[in-house]
Amino acid sequence: MTETYRRTEMMTIAAARALRNEDICFVGIGLPSAAANLARLTHAPGITLVYEAGPIATRPDVLPLSIGDGELCDTALTTVPVPEMFRYWLQGGRMTVGFLGGAQIDRFANLNTTVIGPYAKPRARLPGGGGAPEIGSACGEIFIIMGQSRRSFVAQLDFITSMGHGEGGDHRARLGLATKGPTRLVTDLCIFEPDPRTKEMSVTAIHPGITRAEIAESTGWPVRFAATVAETPPPAAHELEVLRDLHARTARAHGQAA
Amino acid sequence: MSRFLPLAQAVAETVHDGDTVALEGFTHLIPFAAGHEIIRQRRKRLTLIRMTPDLIYDQMIGMGCAERLVFSWGGNPGVGSLFRLRDAVENGWPNPIEIEEHSHAAMAHAYEAGASGMPCAIFRGYIGVDLPKVNPRIKRIACPFTGETLAAVPAHRPDVAIIHALKADRAGNVLLEGILGVQKEAVLAAKRSLVTVEEIVEDFGPRNLNAVILPGFTVAAIALVPGGAYPSYAQGYYARDNAFYIAWEPIARERNGFLAWMKDNVLDRGPEVFALHARRHAVGRTARGDAANSRGDA
C-alpha cells in the first residue's frame, strides 16, 4: 500500500469513492468524467452516468475528450436530444448528483468559469457556464473536483457562474432551492464538506502526507478545519491500476503519448 | 421543398451579410465545410448563434465574419481556450464582437421555443448566478398557477440554420443519428435552412420507426459534402479528430499563424478536401456494429 502515486491520482480516486452504485450522475468533462468512470470501473458498476450531450447510462471504454464524443453515444443505453436532456432529465429532478469542476471557487463553493476581471472588459475570457448554472441547482447534490491553489481558491469570485451555497447559511432555501448544493469538494490536498449551519466549506479529510499549513497556503481565504479531521485512505493498488489503465487507453485513443 | 445544390451556391443563396445564422451540431456533426464556405465568401456582420462555438466559430470570428455571438460555452472542448474568440472579446481583433451569453439549458430551450413558434422559453434556471446581471435578455416570469419564479429567454429565430447530417434521400428528406444536439430544433426554428450531408441515397431503407428525420419541406437546400463535419465527427462514418482539436490551440494562439493556416487550409481550398479528411479518420464499425454498411466512402 506504499505505492507511489501522484496528487492528481489521489484527487481523482478520493472523488470517485464519493459516488454510490445507485447514483444517477450528471457528469462534467475532464476531472469529473475521470472520477465518475473510475467509480463505475471499481466500486460502483451499477452507477448511471449521464452526459449533457444526450447519452444516458453510458459506459465508455476510454474517457471522452469532449462532452459529445462518439464513444459516449456508442456505449449508452439511449441518447436523447439536448433540449430533452435539459428539460426532462436535468430539470425534471432525476439526477441524484451533479459532478462539476471549475476555474475559481469561493468558500461557499460558488464556481466561476466565465471571466477573470470585469465581465465587460475581462482580463481573461473563460469558456463560460455551459450546463453548470442549472446543474448546480437541479441535481440532488453536487460534488466538485478541482486542483487547489491560491489562484483557484479565492476570497472573492469575479463572477458566479453556478451557485454553490451563495452567501452561506440558508441562502439556497431562500431562493426556493430544495436541492442540497455542494456536499463535497475534493482537491489534490484534501476533502471539504459544508459546515452544517454556515455552509462554509470546511476540511474534513486530509490526503496522506499533506499538512494543514500547505492547505492554508493554498487557499485564498482563512480555511476552516472541521472539529474532526480524518486522513484520506491512500489509493489502493486496484484503484491506481484501473485509473492508470483508463488514462493509458484514453491517451492511445486520442493519439497522444501516454 | 429542399433543393440539391453545390455547397458554394447553397451558401451564396441562403446566407447574406448581416444575417443571424446558427451553425449547430453538439460536438457531433458540426458543419465545418459550410462554415469554411461562409468564410471563403467573405460574409460580414453576421450574428452567430451556437451553444458551443467550437473551432468553427473561432475560425469565422477570427476571419471577421461576425459582429455578434450568442452562445453558452465558448471553449475548445477538452483542450482549453478558443484564442480567436478571446482575442475578439478581449482586444477587439479583427473587429469588436458583442456577446450575448446564456446557459446550455437556456439555449436549448430557446431553440425549442423557436421551433414551437413561441416568443420565449420558460424554464427553471439562472438561480443565484450572475449571468442575468450581464444579459438583459434573461428575464423572470411568475408561473400563473403556482407563483413560482421562473426564467424566461427570447426564442431563437435565426434567419438561417446550417447543420450537417448523415444522409439525405432523393426526395430531399434528411436523416440524423447519434448525438442529436439541437439540430432539429435549430432547423425548425429558422426561416430557412441549409443541410450538408455525408451521402445521398435513393431511400433510407429499413430503419427504426422513430428515426430522426427532417422532412424535405423543412429544408431549403441540401449540399453533398462527404466529410463535411471534419474535424468533428459523423457517427458511423469517421471519428472525431481529437488530435486536431489539440493541435488547433497553437495554430490559433497567434494572429499571423492563424491567418496563414486559414489561407492554406480554407481560402485556397474547396469543400472537396473534407472527403480526404474523412477517409483518413474513417471508422469501419461502431460498437453497434451496423455502420460499415452505410459508409459513404466504402
* CA-wise closest residue to B112 among B148, B159, B153: B153
Give the model confidence (pLDDT) of A96-132 as tens digits: 999 999 899 999 999 999 999 999 999 989 999 999 9
**Are A176 and B148 a contacting pair at CB < 8 A?**
yes
Considering its fold, how many domains does chain B have in total? 1
Give the model confidence (pLDDT) of B66-83 as tens digits: 999 999 999 998 888 999
Q: In sequence order, what E strands does chain A have?
A: 24-27, 48-51, 55-56, 78-79, 97-100, 104-105, 111-112, 115-116, 124-125, 141-145, 182-186, 190-194, 201-206, 225-231
Residue B23 belongs to a domain: yes
pLDDT of B297 > 70? The answer is: no
Identify the pLDDT of residue A258.
39
Q: Which residue on chain B is closest to A31 by alpha carbon?
A: B78
Active site residues of A: 52
Give the model confidence (pLDDT) of A175-204 as tens digits: 999 999 999 999 999 999 999 999 999 999
Q: Provide the CATH number for the domain around residue B246.
A: 3.40.1080.10
DSSP A145-208: E----TTTB-SS-S--SB-SSTTSTTHHHHTT--S--EEEEE-SSEEEEE-TTT--EEEEEE-T
Q: Whole-angstrom Cα distance, residue B142 to residue B252?
A: 45
Residue B140 belongs to a domain: no
Residue B197 belongs to a domain: yes
Mean pLDDT along residues A149-161: 97
3-state secondary structure of B62: helix
Residue B253: domain span: 3-101+157-270
ipTM for the predicted complex? 0.95
Report chain B residues whose CB lies below 8 A from the CB of A80. 180
pLDDT of B129 > 80? The answer is: yes
Q: Are B179 and A54 in contact (CB under 8 A)?
A: yes
pLDDT of B125 > 70? The answer is: yes
**Are B129 and A172 a contacting pair at CB < 8 A?**
no
Domains and CATH numbers, chain A: 7-253 (3.40.1080.10)
Percent of chain B topping pLDDT 70: 95
Mean pLDDT along residues B187-196: 98
pLDDT of B291 > 60? The answer is: no
pLDDT of B285 > 90? The answer is: no
Identify the pLDDT of residue A29.
85
Q: Whole-angstrom Cα distance, residue B227 to residue A158?
A: 41
**Are B104 and A83 a contacting pair at CB < 8 A?**
no
pLDDT of A38 > 80? The answer is: yes
Give the model confidence (pLDDT) of B150-174 as tens digits: 999 999 999 999 999 999 999 999 9
Record the pTM. Answer: 0.94
Residue B145 belongs to a domain: no
Report chain B residues whose CB lies below 8 A from the CB of A70. 28, 178-179, 233, 235, 239-240, 283, 286
Percent of chain A topping pLDDT 90: 90
Identify the pLDDT of residue A174.
97
Number of helices followed by number of strands (H, E) in chain B: 10, 15
**Are A177 and B127 a contacting pair at CB < 8 A?**
yes
Q: Are B192 and B220 in contact (CB under 8 A)?
A: yes
